[in-house]
Amino acid sequence: DTGVSQNPRHKITKRGQNVTFRCDPISEHNRLYWYRQTLGQGPEFLTYFQNEAQLEKSRLLSDRFSAERPKGSFSTLEIQRTEQGDSAMYLCASSSGPEAFFGQGTRLTVV
Amino acid sequence: AQTVTQSQPEMSVQEAETVTLSCTYDTSESDYYLFWYKQPPSRQMILVIRQEAYKQQNATENRFSVNFQKAAKSFSLKISDSQLGDAAMYFCAYREISKLGGSEKLVFGKGTKLTVNP
């Protein structure tokens, strides 16, 4: 197991388009998190899954954002009708204990 | 909601010297976890060290150690014998657990950019 994997690494999209990111957590990690990080800031929590159940969504997550984790394995984060303010690094992390392990992130640029 | 404050946006250190990065947090809980993460430029977030609040002994990982002052809600990171590869953004994080819904998350500070000068 090579750790948390995120795809794509980079995504450039036009405003108004939909985008979907994928996260493959470390095997057997039942907890999965999505964070958003803008330049010069720390990561901000977006949503949390325990197995396939989405237990919390941040108020940062507008109606245009949706996340899933079917069968408690990989997770997808979809942003509909992207806006320039959505440009950021989207980080996925997984854990089975107190420590969370992060993927390399997907950098989204909305033009 | 818990908050984490890193008051040093940037720090620099000479190679082989020691540097301390500051972090304070706010919580009403008695048992919790604190972490320091390292994020090199354009690379992924890496866990450096963790501290369990109920343990009085400060955590140590090789050249990295913490000074955990629970009453003061302070959690500083000391890097000894600094190396060029230590240059990165360092984030302090608090593990927040929701008692109601069973959710959990990390609350991060804004980070400290560490430069290591040769």
**Under 8 Å between Cβ of A89 and A109:** no
State pLDDT tens for residues A6-47: 999 999 999 999 999 999 999 989 999 999 999 889 999 999
What confidence category does residue B102 fall into, taking pLDDT thresholds of 50, 70 and 90?
A: confident
* Closest Cβ–Cβ partner in B47, B102, B109 for A99: B47
pLDDT recorded at residue A33:
97
Residues A68-94, mean pLDDT to the nearest whole number: 96
Describe the strand order of the beta sheet including A5-7 as a list of residue ranges.
Answer: A5-7, A19-24, A75-79, A65-68
State pLDDT tens for residues B13-38: 999 999 999 999 999 988 899 999 99
Q: What is the 3 state secondary structure string of B55-107?
A: CCCCCEECCEEEEEECCCCEEEEEECCCCHHHCEEEEEEEEEECCCCCCEEEE
Q: Does B106 touch chain A (CB under 8 A)?
A: yes
Q: Does B11 touch chain A (CB under 8 A)?
A: no
**Under 8 Å between Cβ of B99 and B82:** no
What confidence category does residue A84 fall into, taking pLDDT thresholds of 50, 70 and 90?
A: very high
What confidence category does residue A1 fall into, taking pLDDT thresholds of 50, 70 and 90?
A: low
Nearest CA-CA distance, residue A82 and chain B, Å:
23
Written as six digits, the tokens of B19 are 């540097």
pLDDT recorded at residue B41:
87
pLDDT recorded at residue B100:
76
